[in-house]
């Protein structure tokens, strides 16, 4: 039975059993096509598949309380670079074929007919190499096109697509932004990103531009601050918004103790009922020695994000 039109309340707990196929959830391979002195080219192949079942979903509130579905995707990637006396030029091209079969995911974003083939990467770029020797190798990196971009660990900016138009919602093979212009300044110990991004239609055709600064200490960790604005979005709650972020992560006290925090302030947005500001506080601790998973604690006003699944109600 299709769950395309079903509603799912994320505040209700569910029991989700993920059964992987004989292959891992995702398997990848890299093949070298050309390895000359000034020119390199390679082919990446990535495949993912998963079988999912959920019993008593939403406590049966929608009538059909059991669901089962499977997802799969295949993603080949072609990349190349060419070195010159004034830096290196590089580019990449990738498409994703993906599908969902069965009942569709329990959130109702996909059904038994959700599938498709769509572009994932199509970009060109330039790295400075030793052109600015005093700043370090590849101190300047400029790129544009359809590509991936993330700030920090992706709490605010990481995923430009929502992965429901072509199926495989939970495996989430799409991560790139439909349009991205990036300038990365990779100096030490301070680095910076200047960016302009545009997400796909399933993320509201949201345009995002801003600046990210980071101070990196290899032993103690990273401190970062970001400002970004949304000049255009089909989502009224995002359109016109300004976002400010301060974050940090690392092991400043002891090598075995990993700490992380992030504070976010959101101002504006054209959706009148929405509060003009909504702070979000996120903290985490993890024992590096024990290999314990990171646990998150957020304020009640926080956006609903999860770095484990890359699913959120606000993330760009």
Q: Please, which pLDDT band fits residue 30 given cuts at 50, 70 and 90?
A: very high
Q: What is 80-312's CATH number, 4.10.640, 2.40.160, 3.30.70, 3.40.50?
A: 2.40.160
pLDDT at 37: 92
Q: Please, which pLDDT band fits residue 27 given cuts at 50, 70 and 90?
A: confident
pTM score of the predicted model: 0.76
pLDDT at 270: 65
For 213, the token pair is 């600064």
Average pLDDT score over residue span 169-187:
95
Q: Which of 116, 121, 35 is nearest to 72 (CA)?
A: 116
DSSP string, the chain: ---TT----TTS--EEEEE--SS-SEEEEEEEEEE-SSEEEEEEEEEEEEEEEEESGGGGTTS---EEEEEEEEEEEEEEEEEETTEEEEEEEEEEEEEEEES--TTSS--TT-EEEEEEEEEEEEE-TTTTGGG-TT-EEEEEEEE---STTSSSS--S--S-TTS-TTT-----EEEEEEEEE--SSEEEEEEEEE--GGGTT-EEEEEEEEEEETTTEEEEEEEEEEEE-SSTTTTT-EEEEEEEEE-SS-TTEEEEEEEEEEE--S-TTS-SB--EEEEEEEETTTTPPPEEEE-TTS--EETTTTEESS--
The per-residue pLDDT for range 41-77, each reduced to its tens digit, is 999 999 999 999 888 776 666 656 778 999 999 999 9
Average pLDDT score over residue span 130-141:
94
Average pLDDT score over residue span 195-211:
92
Q: Please, which pLDDT band fits residue 284 given cuts at 50, 70 and 90?
A: low
How many residues can be counted in the chain?
316
Tell me if 246 sits within 8 A of 256, measured CB to CB.
no
Supply angle C-alpha 213, 309, 245, rounded to 5. Answer: 25
Instruction: Provide the Cα torsion 143, 147, 152, 155; round to 10°.
Output: 150
The per-residue pLDDT for range 151-175, each reduced to its tens digit, is 998 999 998 888 888 999 999 999 9
Main-chain phi, psi angles of 193, to 5 degrees = -130, 135
Peptide bond just before 189 cis, omega within 30 deg:
yes
Higher pLDDT, 309 or 171: 171
Residue holding tokens 């301060």?
A: 246
Average pLDDT score over residue span 116-120:
95
Q: Please, which pLDDT band fits residue 106 given cuts at 50, 70 and 90?
A: confident
Tell me if 264 sits within 8 A of 243, measured CB to CB.
yes
Q: Give domain limits for the chain.
A: 80-312
The per-residue pLDDT for range 228-277, each reduced to its tens digit, is 999 999 888 889 999 999 999 999 999 899 999 999 999 987 654 544 44
Say whether pLDDT at 307 is over 60.
no
Q: What does the buried/exposed string (b/e) look like for 211-243 if buried means 16 or more CB atoms within 10 Å of the residue's CB?
A: ebebebeeeebbbbebebebeebebebbbbbeb
Burial class (CB in 10 A: 0-12, 13-18, 19+), 183: middle
Average pLDDT score over residue span 211-230:
96
């Amino acid at each position: 039975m299709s769950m395309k039109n079903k509603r799912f309340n994320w505040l209700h707990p569910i029991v989700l059993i993920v059964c992987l196929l004989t292959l891992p959830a995702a398997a990848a391979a890299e093949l070298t096509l050309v390895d000359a002195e000034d020119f390199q080219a390679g082919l990446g192949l990535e495949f993912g598949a998963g079988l999912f079942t959920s019993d008593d979903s939403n406590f049966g509130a929608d009538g059909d309380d059991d669901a089962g579905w499977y997802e799969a995707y295949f993603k080949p990637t072609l990349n190349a670079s060419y070195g010159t006396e004034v830096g290196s030029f590089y580019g990449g091209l990738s498409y994703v074929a993906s599908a969902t079969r069965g009942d569709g995911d329990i959130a109702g974003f996909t059904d038994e007919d959700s599938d498709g083939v769509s572009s994932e990467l199509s970009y060109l770029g330039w790295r400075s190499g030793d052109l600015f020797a005093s700043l370090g190798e590849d101190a300047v990196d400029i790129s544009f096109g359809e590509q991936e971009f993330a700030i920090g660990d992706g709490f605010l900016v990481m995923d430009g697509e929502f992965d429901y138009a072509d199926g495989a919602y939970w495996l989430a093979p799409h991560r790139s932004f439909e349009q991205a212009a990036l300038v990365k300044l990779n100096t030490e110990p301070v680095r910076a990103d200047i960016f302009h991004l545009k997400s796909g239609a399933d993320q509201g055709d949201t345009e995002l531009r801003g600046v990210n600064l980071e101070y990196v200490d290899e032993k103690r960790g990273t401190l970062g601050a970001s400002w970004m604005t949304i000049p255009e979005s089909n989502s009224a709650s995002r359109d016109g918004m300004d976002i400010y972020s301060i974050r940090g992560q690392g092991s400043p006290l002891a090598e075995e103790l990993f700490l992380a925090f992030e504070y976010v302030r959101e101002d504006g947005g054209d959706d009148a009922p929405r509060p003009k500001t909504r702070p979000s506080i996120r903290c985490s601790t993890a024992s590096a020695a024990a290999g314990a998973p990171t646990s998150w604690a957020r304020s009640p006003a926080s956006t609903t994000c999860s770095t484990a699944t890359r699913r959120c109600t606000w993330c760009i």
